[in-house]
Amino acid sequence: MKTRSLNRIILYASVVAVCAFLVFPIYWLFITAISPPDQLRALPPKFWPDVPRWDVFAAIIRERPLLLWLSNSALAALGSVIISMAVSVLAGYSLSRFRVRGGQSLGLFILTAKMLPATLLVIPLFGIFRSVDLIGSLWSIILAHATLIIPFTTWMLKGYFDTIPRELEQAAMVDGCSPFGAMVRVILPVSAPGLAATALYGFVLSWSDYAYARTFLTNAQTNWTANLGITTMKGEYISNWADISAASILVALPVVVIYLFLERYLVGGLTAGAEK
Amino acid sequence: MKLGFNLDLARPSRRHWLGYLLLAPAVILIALIIVYPLLVSIDLSFQNVNIARLDQPRKPFTTANYERLFSSPDFWNATWVTLKLVVIVSFFCFLLGLGTALLVNNKFKGQALARLLVALPWAVPEVVAVVIFAWMFDSSFGLINWIFIKLGLIDTTVSWFSSPTAAFIVVCITMIWKGYPFVSIMMLAGLQSIPEDFYNAARVDGANAWQRLVNITIPSLMPVLGVTLVLVMLWVFRDFSIIYILTGGGPLKATQTLSIMTYEQAFSFFKMGYASAIGVVTLVVCVIASRLMIGRAPDTI
């Protein structure tokens, strides 16, 4: 009995230590944001500011075009998610239900496309977008992010459709639905949670991108995404770490919230197709 | 029971036109935004082009980019840096990720909260992770310097981003912090699929905790371990944002991976053909390495 309670104590201590180590950098980001700038240059560092600056978030929104950057990020993410979901819902369903000639090789190609380094694809995309005059436009990153999202969503959705019994469609077709009608009226409504999780995951992929935004949008300040905006703040001659931290928190917040919703679905999606 | 209807979508004969129709939009879009650019970049890698303009006539075919690449010390330096980074970051991601997963998989009060917290850095965008660590390792007012001086590990402040070794370490730490929650998430899922009966049977036979770990847990996790390892290595291999924003590949090319070198050649020096050649080599290495590794892993998770 005594060793058991000792084990408990060790267990709790290690859990607390691990969580502290993982979460401390996030805590420090928060503390940096709400500290007055002069306290950031004080040694020893303060682990809780004497007078927290709670208005730092309002101030940064006033002083920097942060709302514009955030809305650009959101627009780009929405655009690329809508495009990607539109094609990968159909393709995922087809790969899950039909034996299409070439379907398997297409699936394999999509898996390989996950391995494409963004730094390779960004070069031809830059050339292509230049010749059709998309550099500096949000459309450039919407299309570029679709190259990141489609391989993931197609496999996630195929995996999700695989878990839905075929009897559902069969029943619908006995009742007189066409195959397409069975998909739209029966399977898609049943899959709503999976569709939502997949779309959110695509949103996170697009929201987190830096490479494409840096390449296509650097000279178009009004179209900067939030990530690009933050890095330009970091690059200024004197880095104002309180401001940068506050902006970073606002940028990280949406994806952290999505993550809290997504956690249950995460694993299935991340591994989808990986075993092939 | 055999149904008279032609309804079984799984039947081999079900090569329905609808299947092709549903695939068509994806195939067209992928052809336009992935396959075509990929072909363009392969084409570029065999030309001596500086700024990629598709409306200009093609330059003559040449393998000069690849010859220059394989004889360039910068390329071999970048390959070595990439290799070091992949090995170090993947190793620590696994050590910490597996340890964390085993720990959090115990039953205790607040387990749900702990599971949520240990995976949190996975959700933080890479740019934000860089902001956090760039500030913590700041040379004048960074927290890490202060802690290290307090602990007596260093005498004076270290300027982390001007020393090649120190900068490399900071890149590693940032990537490990960002990457290992992913390993934890995957391992936790794997752990939960191991039947409790295995452990009960082992306890009855008198196996201690270590024996249970080595003989049940690790072997059962092997398939997930394999896939996760490939995914983590691919991520480190190709990552651009963390290194580029943190160090830009410097100092003295100490953190210049193949991805950073590709990008720098393309968009700092505008050697698009040369950069494409590096990118193509990177892709080929990725595909071959992951095929070799996944090919050997069992095909179920």
- Does A32 reach chain B within 8 Å, measured CB to CB? yes
- Mean pLDDT score, A21-50: 82
Distance (Å) from the alpha carbon of B282 to chain A's nearest alpha carbon: 8
> What percentage of chain A reaches a pLDDT higher than 90?
29
CB contact under 8 A, B186 and A166: no
SS (H, E, C) chain B: CCCCCCCCCCCCCCCCHHHHHHHHHHHHHHHHHHHHHHHHHHHHHCCCCCCCCCCCCCCCCCCHHHHHHHCCHHHHHHHHHHHHHHHHHHHHHHHHHHHHHHHHCCCCCCHHHHHHHHCHHHHCCHHHHHHHHHHHCCCCCCHHHHHHHHCCCCCCCCCCCCCHHHHHHHHHHHHHHHHHHHHHHHHHHHHHCCCHHHHHHHHHCCCCHHHHHHHHHHHHHHHHHHHHHHHHHHHHHHCCHHHHHHCCCCCCCCCCCHHHHHHHHHHCCCCHHHHHHHHHHHHHHHHHHHHHHHHHCCCCC
Residue with tokens 């299409």: A100
CA B224 to chain centre: 16
pLDDT at A143: 94
Q: Which amino acid is at B190?
A: G
B51 belongs to a structural domain: no
For residue B53, the chain A residues in CB contact (below 8 A) are 127, 130-131
pLDDT at A237: 65
B171 belongs to a structural domain: yes
pLDDT at B300: 32
Mean residue pLDDT of chain B comes to 83
Q: What part of A 79-138 touches B (C-beta under 8 Å)?
A: 83, 86-88, 90-91, 93-95, 97-101, 103, 106, 109-110, 112-113, 115-128, 130-131
Q: In a 3-state reduction of DSSP, which class is residue A154?
A: helix
Distance (Å) from the alpha carbon of B284 to chain A's nearest alpha carbon: 9
Burial of A221 (0-12, 13-18, 19+ CB in 10 A): middle
Residues 6+ apart with CB under 8 A from B56: none
Count of domains forming chain B: 1
CB contact under 8 A, B53 and A127: yes
pLDDT at B298: 39
Tens of pLDDT, residue by residue over B263-281, are: 999 998 888 889 999 999 9
Distance (Å) of CA A258 to CA A95, A193, A199, A269, B122: 28, 14, 11, 14, 12
- pLDDT greater than 70 at residue B35: yes
CB contact under 8 A, B26 and A180: no
Q: Which amino acid is at B96?
A: L
pLDDT tier at A275, thresholds 50, 70, 90: very low
Nearest to B169 by CA among B183, B182, B159, B180: B159
CATH code for the domain in which residue B196 is found: 1.10.3720.10
Candidate ranges A10-19, A92-101, B167-176, B207-216; pick with highest mean pLDDT: B167-176
Candidate ranges A3-7, A75-79, B12-16, B255-259; pick with highest mean pLDDT: A75-79
Distance (Å) from the alpha carbon of B165 to chain A's nearest alpha carbon: 22
Angle at A77 between CA A73 and CA A81, to 5 degrees: 175
B10 belongs to a structural domain: no
pLDDT higher at B31 or B208:
B31
- Does A27 reach chain B within 8 Å, measured CB to CB? no
CB contact under 8 A, A99 and B185: no
Distance (Å) of CA A156 to CA A88, B30, B63: 9, 17, 39
pLDDT tier at B54, thresholds 50, 70, 90: low
CA B21 to chain centre: 34
The answer to whether the beta carbons of residues A220 and A137 sit under 8 Å apart is yes
- Does B10 reach chain A within 8 Å, measured CB to CB? yes
Q: Which amino acid is at A217?
A: L
pLDDT at A7: 78
Which of A23, A88, A248 is facing B128, going by the closest CB pair?
A248
CA B201 to chain centre: 38
DSSP string spanning B226-283?
A: HHHHHHHHHHHHH--HHHHHHTTT-STTTT--HHHHHHHHHHTS--HHHHHHHHHHHH
B106 belongs to a structural domain: yes
B35 belongs to a structural domain: no
Query: Closest chain A residue to B133 measured between Cα atoms?
Result: A25
Residues 6+ apart with CB under 8 A from B101: B183, B184, B187, B188, B190, B191
For residue B52, the chain A residues in CB contact (below 8 A) are 123-124, 126-127, 130
Q: Which amino acid is at A161?
A: F
* CA–CA distance, A274 with A199 (Å, rounded to integer): 19
Alpha helices in A163-272 (DSSP H): 167-174, 179-182, 188-190, 192-207, 211-217, 226-234, 241-271
What one-character DSSP code corresponds to residue A222? G
Q: How many helices (H) and strands (E) does chain B have?
A: 15, 0
Tens of pLDDT, residue by residue over A97-134, are: 888 777 778 887 887 788 888 888 999 999 899 888 88
Tell me the two tokens of residue B46.
């065999």
The answer to whether the beta carbons of residues A214 and A234 sit under 8 Å apart is no
- Mean pLDDT score, A255-271: 70
Distance (Å) from the alpha carbon of A19 to chain B's nearest alpha carbon: 6
B1 belongs to a structural domain: no
Distance (Å) from the alpha carbon of A116 to chain B's nearest alpha carbon: 6
Mutation to test the A interface, candidates B5, B65, B127, B177, most A Cβ within 10 Å: B127
Query: Closest chain B residue to A23 measured between Cα atoms?
Result: B117
CB contact under 8 A, B25 and A86: yes
Query: Closest chain B residue to A116 measured between Cα atoms?
Result: B283
- Does B44 reach chain A within 8 Å, measured CB to CB? yes
* CA–CA distance, A38 with B49 (Å, rounded to integer): 50
Tens of pLDDT, residue by residue over A100-109, are: 777 778 887 8
Q: How many CA atoms lie within 13 A of B119 on its CB side?
A: 27
pTM metric for this prediction: 0.87
pLDDT at A225: 93
- Mean pLDDT score, A64-87: 94
| Interface size between A and B, measured as CB pairs under 8 A | 309
> What percentage of chain B reaches a pLDDT higher than 70?
91
Domain of B270 in residue numbering reads as 62-296
Burial A159-171 (b: 16+ CB within 10 A, else e): bbbeebebeebbe
Query: Closest chain B residue to A40 measured between Cα atoms?
Result: B141
For residue A118, the chain B residues in CB contact (below 8 A) are 238, 240, 259
Tens of pLDDT, residue by residue over B164-195, are: 999 999 999 999 999 988 898 888 888 887 88
Which of A22, A88, A127 is facing B118, going by the closest CB pair?
A22
- pLDDT greater than 60 at residue B19: yes
B292 belongs to a structural domain: yes
- Does B263 reach chain A within 8 Å, measured CB to CB? yes
B26 belongs to a structural domain: no
Burial of B155 (0-12, 13-18, 19+ CB in 10 A): exposed
